[in-house]
Amino acid sequence: MKNVSLIKKIEYEEDLSKTYPVTFVLDFDRSMAKEIFNEIKDQSLLAHNKINVGNNSFTVEIPLKSIGQITKILLKNDLGFYGVYVLYDNFLEMKEV
């Protein structure tokens, strides 16, 4: 198990303006990343003007309330996506169920 990512369910809190590094797993070509990033940036959905692009994913720092708007952009560009998540780290607190 070399490439294991621990992920946690995203639970919305009252403060939706708090930002997290959200990863979108897509069916896309890396060359499309710049086009998608520019569209997301033009709509002022980013906390920071940075993107981290993987082979079939990208990660952007956004408030959780922007997830739906970014999803609309992906669908508008006919991009299939397989997951939206925040890596399990200090970004999300562990809560008792």
Residue ranges and CATH numbers for the domains of the chain are 18-87 (3.30.70.100)
**pTM exceeds 0.85, yes or no:** no
Q: What percentage of residues in the chain have a pLDDT greater than 70? A: 73
Between 26 and 4, whose confidence is greater? 26
| Coil, strand or helix at 75 | helix
Tokens 């809560």 sit on residue: 95
Straight-line distance from the first to the last Cα atom of the chain, in angstroms, rounded to the nearest whole number: 28
Compute and round to an integer the Cα radius of gyration of the chain: 13
Predicted pLDDT of residue 34 = 86
CA distance 89 to 39: 28
Render pLDDT for 46-94 as a digit per residue (tens, 0 to 9). Answer: 998 999 988 888 999 998 889 999 999 999 988 888 888 887 665 545 4
Average pLDDT taken over every residue of the chain:
80
Predicted pLDDT of residue 13 = 65
